A and B are shown apart, each in its own frame.
Chain A
Amino acid sequence: MMQQAVEAGVRHVPGRPIYQLRNVSRSYGAFRALTGINLDLTEGSFSSVIGPSGCGKTTLLKIMAGLAPPSTGSVILNGRPVMGPQRQIGMMFQQATLLPWRTAIDNILLPIEIRDGRQAARAHRDDAGALLDLVGLKGFENAYPRQLSGGMAQRTAICRMLITRPEVLLLDEPFSALDELSRDNMNLELQRVCLARNATAFLITHSIPEAVFLSDTVYIMSARPGRFSEAVTIDLPRPRTLEMMTTPEFGAYVTYIRNRLDEGAAP
């Protein structure tokens, strides 16, 4: 904990740029799903996007990940244009999407196996075990996904994301299918990992407290067409603790964002 607190001190120093999005838009036929997105993420920063359903959050994430092309604009990652899937990105989705015919550890090793082959995957077994340990799943190496609860499956998905040591984490509502208790634990876990690895994270969420808890910046999106309407800087010290969620400052951030979202939703 102490060591992480020390590392956390570096966070608010503006780091080197990781992501630069300029005037990104995306249309499906005549429907404009996203317009005029500009975004700068610096190394080690944690940002969240919050906005109504269908405002284009997933579309944006897929464009950032190189899973879909933008209609206009440019996406630069580490100084290079994104024109396809990127090695240094780890992704997580709302569903854990574990392969049911693979054990937990083989699911975690899947990205290595895809990238470098079976032999490399075997060589990383210890790493995968250590990750399971980290998320409190020691002893579940050989469990199949159906033997895992929703929270345990999502923890395994975290390990699968982390096994390649990605510099950038793109997270699409990763914990929204979980109950509140598991969710709080996941948030702590995620913060710990990001701080320890100085990873840059971009999180889509529907939970305002989750966004405030994790983020340095919360981007508020509005719909039709999807765009950023505001960026809220969260000035709370790190590492953040669950107790901080009951402080007046935390409550003020939550209330502010909720009000802005309600205004955006009004006709």
Chain B
Amino acid sequence: MITVKGQPIRTTNETFPETVWAEHVAHIDRIPRPIAMIGLLLIFLGLWQAVHVFGLVSPIILPSPAEVGRDILFVGSNLISGGYMLSAMWITAQEALLGFAFAITIGFSLGVLVGETSFGERAVLPYLVAIDTMPKVAFAPLFLAWLGFGISSKVALAAFIATFPIVVGTASGLYAADENARALFRSMGASRWQTLWRLKIPNGLPQIFTGLKIGAVGVMAGAITAEFLGGGKGLGELIRVAASQLQTPRVFSLILYLSLLGYLLFWTVVLLERRLVFWHRASATGIEEAR
């Protein structure tokens, strides 16, 4: 037996009463999410209806929820039956998708140039930062003048807006690899190319996807802005025409379907992110969950 100063080591083994008690959760935080969300929507619609019932705002400026609802159904049926609105939506979708594809290609390449080479960081980055601070929508007339009123000028503006967040996301993603991991790769004799593809790019995916998500929002804004300014046959043109004819319910419902398009694009990116960046806590759960 192990002893201390000739005595056995003393131990105690008392038992105590359980002290189990419930933590307090505020009532408002106990409401389940679907009920909370639907409830908030109903409150919003109720206030909107009240504005309408009391005649606070002219119906031309703000139509009633019911009117907008009817128009949403009308536009929806036109879309489903493959009417002219569907082809408008398809055109806007093409502009956004092509713009996104260009933005990803150019943004990722420039991001690697900036994040991986000191030439890129010293010579290219300052110009990118300078251009990024400009209001990029102001370039729209230039793109229209250069590329005409077809789809390409819209693609160009969409790509132009979305490229910068992707550059920034990619470059900061490449910077994110910590010194320990870099030392590990050097000690294994990894080439620059191997370090890039096996360490820096996968490690930087959370930042790259942040850039992609901002870019996905940006391409929609770019495509619509270019349509407002340069016509064409997309959803933006339909919105502009409806607004000029004071068809306010139509404007509302077109915006809704436009948002669905943007939402679809955004969610595609988020789902891809969850697949690829499953190992990163904040990317896989947390704030993204709510989206």
- Same complex for A and B? Answer yes
Chain A residues in the interface with B (C-beta under 8 A): 62, 65, 67, 85-87, 89, 91, 93-95, 97, 99-101, 110-111, 113-115, 144-146
* Interface contact A111-B188, CB-CB below 8 Å: yes
Chain B residues with CB under 8 Å of A144's CB are 279
* Interface contact A114-B180, CB-CB below 8 Å: no
* Interface contact A91-B189, CB-CB below 8 Å: no
Taking A89-B187, A101-B278, A113-B198 as given, write out 17 further A-B residue pairs in contact, using a Cβ cutoff of 8 Å, ordered by the A residue number: A62-B183, A85-B187, A85-B189, A86-B189, A87-B189, A91-B183, A93-B180, A93-B183, A94-B180, A97-B180, A97-B181, A99-B202, A110-B188, A114-B185, A114-B188, A144-B279, A146-B281
Shortest distance between the CB of A169 and any CB in chain B (Å): 12
* Interface contact B202-A101, CB-CB below 8 Å: yes
Chain A residues with CB under 8 Å of B184's CB are 91, 93, 97
25 contacts between A and B (CB under 8 A): A62-B183, A65-B187, A67-B186, A85-B186, A85-B189, A86-B189, A89-B187, A91-B183, A91-B187, A93-B184, A95-B180, A97-B181, A99-B203, A100-B280, A101-B202, A101-B279, A110-B198, A113-B198, A114-B185, A114-B188, A114-B189, A114-B194, A114-B198, A115-B188, A146-B279
* CA A87 to CA B183, docked complex, whole Å: 14
Chain B residues with CB under 8 Å of A93's CB are 180, 183-184
Contact with A along B169-207 (1 / 0, CB 8 A): 000000000101101111111100010001100110000
Closest partner residue, chain B, to A84 (CB atom) = B189
Chain A residues with CB under 8 Å of B180's CB are 93-95, 97
Closest partner residue, chain B, to A144 (CB atom) = B279
* CA A144 to CA B202, docked complex, whole Å: 15
* CA A59 to CA B186, docked complex, whole Å: 15
* CA A110 to CA B197, docked complex, whole Å: 13
Closest partner residue, chain B, to A58 (CB atom) = B183
Chain A residues with CB under 8 Å of B203's CB are 99
Chain B residues in the interface with A (C-beta under 8 A): 178, 180-181, 183-190, 194, 198-199, 202-203, 277-281
Shortest distance between the CB of B208 and any CB in chain A (Å): 13
Chain A residues with CB under 8 Å of B181's CB are 97, 99
Shortest distance between the CB of A255 and any CB in chain B (Å): 21
* CA A93 to CA B178, docked complex, whole Å: 13
* Interface contact A67-B187, CB-CB below 8 Å: yes
Chain B residues with CB under 8 Å of A67's CB are 183, 186-187
Closest partner residue, chain B, to A100 (CB atom) = B279
Closest 4 CB pairs of A and B: A100-B279, A85-B189, A91-B187, A97-B180
Interface hub of A62, A101, A111, A145 (most chain B Cβ within 10 A): A101
Chain B residues with CB under 8 Å of A86's CB are 189
* CA A91 to CA B185, docked complex, whole Å: 10
